[in-house]
Amino acid sequence: MIGQDRRGNWVVQDQSRVAGGLFATRDAALRYVRSESGYQPRAVVMVSGNFELDIGRGGGAPASRQAAFDWRHSRRIA
């Protein structure tokens, strides 16, 4: 998943919340995602709205409702 946090950083996070990072540009974030996914089509999910980095919870429930991922505000890109 890729999106922007409230400070304008580009955030990348896998769905299990194990890997990801903060990036200065969208292109850098997309390069990271594509390299980590083996350049597979449809591997990227764009998140609209604020998307905060939340790594290390081991896929458990988010700490707050604000950190929860809302699939209604996402879209897949190739």
Q: What is the pLDDT of residues 33-52, one digit of tens each?
A: 888 888 887 778 888 878 88
Domain positions in the chain: 2-77
Per the structure block, which two tokens stand in for 47?
């998140």
Contact residues for 78 (Cβ-Cβ < 8 A; gap 6+): 41, 42, 44
For residue 13, list its beta bridge partners.
20
pLDDT bucket at 58, cuts 50 / 70 / 90: low
pLDDT greater at residue 71 or residue 9 = 9
Report field, pTM of the whole predicted structure over 0.85: no
Nearest-angstrom CA–CA distance, 20 and 55 = 7
